[in-house]
Structure 1
């Protein structure tokens, strides 16, 4: 298997992890406040990032200029983005939130990336992306909830659409820094700043949790979010995204809702419809078509 196929496999695995976390997080929300749970996910991951960074690279520091940049990226991509995701789900249907969170993201990534990096947009990318968009739309809208654009959900719809804008900007802005620092170092400092900005928003929620009576499932949900969804998936995504480019990589986010549907089927016995199966096949075909494009000289990159 070529190095480029490994990069695409890394994107798919990271997106599948994040998609499966919808089901895990839904279970955790029965115990934790959403913002507190998100803060625990990122703050508890910081020691693991720092140890890995120290062992692998010998140092953990960054320049003052990079710190300012990563503070802004962490505020946008961790603090603001994760909170908006939660409230978009609260104020609209899951189908609306899933579709509006994910579908426009690669389009905005393609628009924002030229502001930070030089990336070519090929006809293969456009065609494969269109097929993937159609597929993910069927995966989400083909579910039992459908897609509802009623005025009652307008606030949630706008928030969900904002997720795509902020998320694409977050990805594109991270790319130049990964020419200077490793994906591990960029991920570490982005998450540190994001957790720092998120902490004040958790005040008043800690006392609502019965810490002494937490179940094994609650601890498992936290551990999965910290170690798998944050430490492993973030570094894997950033490293793979740097190699294939932000515009191309972000189409692989369409694996997220498909994995979320699979998690709902396995954890909550949610029905999978024929339209969703057709959509998954269409999405997979589009992503395979994108990944088959011959790549230019790979970027020099250190994990």
Structure 2
């Protein structure tokens, strides 16, 4: 079997994990402040990242220039984006936030990719991506909330749309670094810098949590976010994105809303409409069409950096 299927399967698996996390995080928000919970997710993941990096590559360091680059990317792509996502959901409807955040992201990634990597935009990518966009719109808007463009939601709508632009830029900005360093090393330092910049924003939240009274469900939510959604997902996503290209990889973000709908059905007894099922079909067809394209070459694996 062509090895590229491993990387596409990795992208789908991570998207499902992130989609399911909508339900897990919703439960956790009853106990934790959103920014504190996000900090716990990344901050507690940092030791695991460094341990894995040391065991796998024998060193953990990076040159000063790369550290400065990763600090900027971590500030924008981890600290900034995670907090912006939280406030976009707070300041507009969930349907608006999902649609304006998720749907444009791969389009901007495809547009930005040539600035950082030589990634051609093929007719198959455009066709498959178009079908996936139609599908994700059906999935998000078919849930009953619909798109609400009232002035009350405008700031949240603009914030969600801005996330898709900055997020896509963040993704493709990581690609040149992964030519020189492994996906694990890049993910490790991004998590570290993102956590460091996020910590000051949590100082007023620690005392609001009844730490001695945390339930097993709260600990499970933290463990899922740290080990699965962050450590496992970041490494697999970055490695797979490097192999198939940022433009193709980001269209697999469209699996996230479908997984979130499934999580809502399983965890909160939310209904699934016919429009959402139809959207899932269109999205899946578009992504399969993208994966069937024969690429001229897959970039060589990034070497394990020593530092």
TM-score norm. by structure 1 comes to 0.99
1:92 aligns with 2:92: yes
- Where do 5+ consecutive residues of structure 2 fail to align? none
Match of 1:16 in 2: 16
Q: Structure 1 residue 150: deviation in Å?
A: 1.3
Helix, strand or coil for the counterpart of 2:250?
helix
In 1, Cα distance between equivalents of 2:150 and 2:288:
35
Q: Structure 1 residue 127: deviation in Å?
A: 0.4
Match of 2:294 in 1: 294
1:35 aligns with 2:21: no
Q: What do the CA deviations read for 1:133-179 (whole angstroms, capped 9, x no partner)?
A: 00000000000222211111111111110110111011010000000
Q: What do the CA deviations read for 1:187-210 (whole angstroms, capped 9, x no partner)?
A: 000110000000000011100000
In 2, Cα distance between equivalents of 1:147 and 1:223:
34
Alignment of 1:254-269 (within 5 A): 254-269=254-269
In 2, Cα distance between equivalents of 1:262 and 1:192:
32
Alignment of 1:98-109 (within 5 A): 98-109=98-109
Match of 1:228 in 2: 228
Helix, strand or coil for the counterpart of 2:146?
coil
Of 290-299 and 259-268, the range deviating more from structure 2: 290-299
- Where do 5+ consecutive residues of structure 1 fail to align? none
In 2, Cα distance between equivalents of 1:281 and 1:150:
30
1:47 aligns with 2:47: yes
Q: Structure 1 residue 113: deviation in Å?
A: 1.2
Q: What do the CA deviations read for 1:26-52 (whole angstroms, capped 9, x no partner)?
A: 000000000000000000000000000
Helix, strand or coil for the counterpart of 1:121?
coil
Alignment of 1:9-158 (within 5 A): 9-158=9-158
Q: What do the CA deviations read for 1:227-250 (whole angstroms, capped 9, x no partner)?
A: 000000010000000000001110
- CA RMSD after TM alignment: 0.8
Match of 1:170 in 2: 170
Match of 1:243 in 2: 243
In 2, Cα distance between equivalents of 1:300 and 1:102:
29
